[in-house]
Chain A
């Protein structure tokens, strides 16, 4: 399984000279499965770059949406494959008692917010509520589960052979909970992340920022670290960077995170901050997920 980070920023695109390294595009992760099948996790502004990189292939791809906040769907109408008639796009997302996934996405992909309507997209697009049970895409087993955020929100786990990716970009598992004390089955999202080769997890706030953002649906770095330690993932990437965090500030945050990780007994290089365009090859027995060169 090959993973590429096309957008790592949370909330709102944050381009500029101070965010070049960690990136300004919002959530999107490209996943190439062992048979070449392509998945996109979320469709923030990062999916535009993914679409351009795909050229005319593949003919079929899946987009797995965690939720429908704008920073996770804004790139949909700028995704080049959606404008090719030969492309089949399968969009998965959370169910809601309020309206279908298609109708909820159409609120954005419609006038006046968008120049095109869903029905006008040249591609063959379909929408599916994620089932509770595991399902398969190509060689991968996919699992979705609701996680603690604001509104219907999913986390995903993708198992392909012996490699596994857990993707929980918007997550506040510590809301009203002590992550160090609770039994594992009572921690939001932990079942998805358990022993994953790579865990991509919300780490939006510095610890000092979190008290002013309790209940906003995101994690402090310390909470993300506690969650990752409980999950036992081989490698963790802190993701969904706050739009106010510059590269310099994220460098310092990463230093503190690694220090805290080691204090808690984590292995060296077990945690990093997600950088836009970084790539990871998940080996069958992923002891680490080193950035591809």
Chain B
């Protein structure tokens, strides 16, 4: 058993209580958790999927740009946050397991501690929800 860092444990506990879709990766970019709301967005619960390595999880929901082309892994907000240690934001389209497409906004931020990076969190906002808020 490898104990997860406290910061990831607390992040997961918080995310579990949110209805905002949220994803959590560790410092190596491994997808270690996403919450029920994110599972609804993807059409698959985290418990069914389990942890997914870096480079692999992006293809789970195949983010597409406005031209319908896949967005390179390195350009995803969550990857920028964990690799570069800075927040990132993007609009893109995702695909759920049943093939349904949905426009979302994603914001990611790094989890930095006195001992360095622990990972990053991304929250997804379905475009319909974000259009209705703050405008």
A185 touches B114 (CB 8 A): no
Residues of B with C-beta under 8 A to A175: 10, 13
A145 touches B6 (CB 8 A): yes
Indicate if A147 sits at the interface (CB-CB under 8 A).
yes
Among residues 164 to 215 in chain A, which have CB atoms less than 8 Å away from a CB atom of chain B? 175-177, 184-188, 190-192, 194
The distance in angstroms between the C-alpha atoms of A177 and B4, with both chains bound, is 14
Q: With A145-B3, A176-B14, A194-B1 in contact, do A187 and B115 touch (Cβ < 8 Å)? A: no
Indicate if A74 sits at the interface (CB-CB under 8 A).
no
Residues of A with C-beta under 8 A to B10: 148, 175-176, 188
Residues of B with C-beta under 8 A to A192: 3
Closest to B13 in A: A176
A188 touches B6 (CB 8 A): yes
Indicate if B105 sits at the interface (CB-CB under 8 A).
no
Closest to A143 in B: B3
Indicate if A97 sits at the interface (CB-CB under 8 A).
yes
Among residues 83 to 135 in chain B, which have CB atoms less than 8 Å away from a CB atom of chain A? 114-115
Closest to B115 in A: A132
Residues of B with C-beta under 8 A to A152: 114
A-B contact pairs, 7 of them (CB 8 A): A145-B6, A146-B5, A147-B6, A176-B17, A190-B1, A190-B3, A194-B1
Counting chain A CB atoms within 10 Å of each CB, the highest count among B4, B5, B14 belongs to B4
Indicate if B19 sits at the interface (CB-CB under 8 A).
no
B4-39: CB near A (< 8 Å → 1, else 0) gives 111101101110110000000000000000000000
Counting chain A CB atoms within 10 Å of each CB, the highest count among B2, B3, B114 belongs to B3
> Which 10 residue pairs spanning A and B have beta carbons closest together?
A191-B3, A176-B13, A146-B6, A95-B114, A177-B13, A184-B1, A185-B1, A132-B115, A185-B4, A188-B9
A148 touches B1 (CB 8 A): no
Residues of A with C-beta under 8 A to B12: 186
Closest to A173 in B: B9
The distance in angstroms between the C-alpha atoms of A97 and B10, with both chains bound, is 18
B114 touches A148 (CB 8 A): no
Indicate if A96 sits at the interface (CB-CB under 8 A).
yes
Residues of B with C-beta under 8 A to A147: 6
Interface of A is mostly: loop
The distance in angstroms between the C-alpha atoms of A132 and B118, with both chains bound, is 12
A97 touches B114 (CB 8 A): yes
Closest to B8 in A: A186
Closest to B12 in A: A186
The distance in angstroms between the C-alpha atoms of A55 and B1, with both chains bound, is 43
The distance in angstroms between the C-alpha atoms of A187 and B13, with both chains bound, is 10
Q: With both chains docked as a complex, state the minimum distance between the C-beta of B24 and any C-beta of chain A, in angstroms.
A: 11
Q: With both chains docked as a complex, state the minimum distance between the C-beta of A184 and any C-beta of chain B, in angstroms.
A: 5
Residues of B with C-beta under 8 A to A97: 114
A148 touches B6 (CB 8 A): yes
The distance in angstroms between the C-alpha atoms of A132 and B5, with both chains bound, is 10
Residues of B with C-beta under 8 A to A176: 10, 13-14, 16-17
Counting chain B CB atoms within 10 Å of each CB, the highest count among A95, A184, A188, A191 belongs to A188
B1 touches A95 (CB 8 A): no
B3 touches A185 (CB 8 A): yes
A33-58: CB near B (< 8 Å → 1, else 0) gives 00000000000000000000000000
Identify which of A96, A145, A184 contacts B114 (C-beta below 8 A): A96
